[in-house]
Structure formats: C-alpha cells, structure tokens
C-alpha cells in the first residue's frame, strides 16, 4: 500500500485489532513506516519492517539499516521471507548477518523458513527447514533466540489460496521447536514464538492457532482488510 492507503487502513483496523492477549504487529513497506508508526500511536499495535540490511553505515544506496528502523520507531523486522530468498537471491549466509545485526540493534527478528512444493513432494521438508534454521541462527545465543519469532511459511501456500492442513502446519512447527531444542535447550525451544504463515484467514485461524506448537500467524493478504480483526480475536 501507499503511505496514505496504509494510514487509512490503520484507521479502519484500529478498533478491530484491540486485544489484551495477542501481540499485533504491522510489517509495512519501508516508505510506509514513518506514517504508520504515527498512525498507531496510543494503540496496542507495534510496527515492523519487511527487510533491512546488515551494515550500519556505508555506500549501500537504497538499503535501510537497523539503526534507521529503530530511530523511526520500528520494533520488529522480517528476515528471510521466501520472496526475498527467491526473487532477490538472499542466502543463509546473508540472512545470518541480518539476524545478528537486528538483535544487536534491539529489533525482534521474525525469521522465515519454508519449503517449495517440489521439496515437500520429495520428502525433504524438515531437512531443508532445519538447514535454514541452523544456518540462520549460527552465532546467535539462546537468550537471543528466546526473544525471536520464527515463521514457517510453506512457499506453495503463499498467495495461492492453498493452506497447509492443520496437521502439516503443526508437524513442521513442532519440528522447528525440536530443532531449536537440539541446538540450544528445551527452555529456549519453549520460549521462542513459532508462527504459521500461508493463506491464514478468519476461517482457519482458530484451528491453526489451537495447535500446541503454533503460537500465531504471519498473515499476508488477509491483514489488508477488516477480517484481520477476526484473526486477531480468533477465539
């Protein structure tokens, strides 16, 4: 959305996303950050960015640093979204640098992982996701991971209208939690928030979020309309 459209949407959603039990974050395009931060002041909504660069300063024309985001009022940042990995060829070495920089700056990383349809059909879903998680968290401490969000987004379910079954989503989110326990410990695995993202909507949110290892949703298209309020208040 354009800045003016984003601000208008914030006004529409303002009363609909009020919740004492759910953390709500709008992750918006860079050009929308400043007006949206202003638009959500006094509400229960935090603001996140969709991307960032790992260098604090330098000749990186067009990139946005973690320090810039913090100064603008951003609290969260999405790292490793499948579209960044695919369209912009961001690999795990780069994403690891971004995760560590975001944490250093005091931002909460929302680290995305997920498989293609071909990888799922080949039966390597968890192998692939475990590789992503282990690579992206290299050098990250247990205490840092406890404050992070990890979002499982099956690439074949993003913007397609297809949704992983509740069983499929829970199975992978549990696998991610088990992977964190192996890398760190059980306490860290229980503390980290694990979300499901992939055509989450008002109709399927309650069933997905009722699963023991799904702590919330990384919501795409459904966040751009009033129905997002129903997702936030899904119970």
Three-state secondary-structure class, residue 208: helix
**Which of 50, 115, 153, 170 is labelled catalytic?**
153
- Whether residue 63 lies in the annotated active site: no
Residues in a beta bridge with 76: 48, 108
CA–CA dist 159, 74 (Å, integer) = 25
CB within 8 Å of 200: residues ≥ 6 apart: 163, 208, 217, 218, 219, 220, 222, 231
**Which of 50, 81, 115, 170 is labelled catalytic?**
81
Ramachandran angles phi, psi of 145, nearest 5°: -65, -35
Contact 132, 113 (CB under 8 A): yes
- Whether residue 170 lies in the annotated active site: no
Residues annotated as catalytic are: 81, 153
């Amino acid at each position: 959305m354009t800045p003016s459209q984003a601000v208008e949407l914030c006004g529409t959603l303002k009363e609909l996303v009020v919740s004492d039990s759910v953390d709500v974050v709008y992750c918006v395009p860079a050009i929308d950050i400043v007006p949206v931060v202003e638009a959500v002041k006094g509400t229960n909504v935090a603001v996140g960015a969709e991307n960032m660069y790992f260098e604090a300063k330098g000749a990186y024309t067009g990139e946005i640093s973690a320090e810039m985001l913090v100064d603008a009022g951003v609290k969260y940042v999405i790292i490793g979204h499948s579209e960044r990995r695919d369209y912009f060829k961001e690999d795990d070495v780069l994403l690891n640098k971004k995760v560590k920089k975001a944490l250093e700056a005091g931002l909460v990383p929302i680290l995305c992982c997920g498989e293609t349809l071909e990888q799922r059909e080949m039966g390597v879903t968890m192998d692939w996701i475990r590789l992503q998680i282990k690579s992206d968290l290299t050098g990250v401490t247990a205490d840092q991971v406890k404050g992070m969000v990890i979002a499982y987004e099956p690439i074949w379910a993003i913007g397609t209208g297809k949704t992983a079954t509740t069983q499929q989503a829970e199975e992978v989110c549990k696998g991610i939690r088990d992977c964190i326990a192996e890398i760190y410990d059980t306490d860290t695995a229980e503390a980290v928030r694990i979300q499901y993202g992939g055509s989450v909507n008002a109709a399927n949110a309650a069933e997905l979020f009722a699963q023991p290892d799904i702590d919330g949703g990384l919501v795409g298209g459904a966040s751009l309309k009033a129905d997002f309020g129903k997702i936030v208040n899904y119970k």
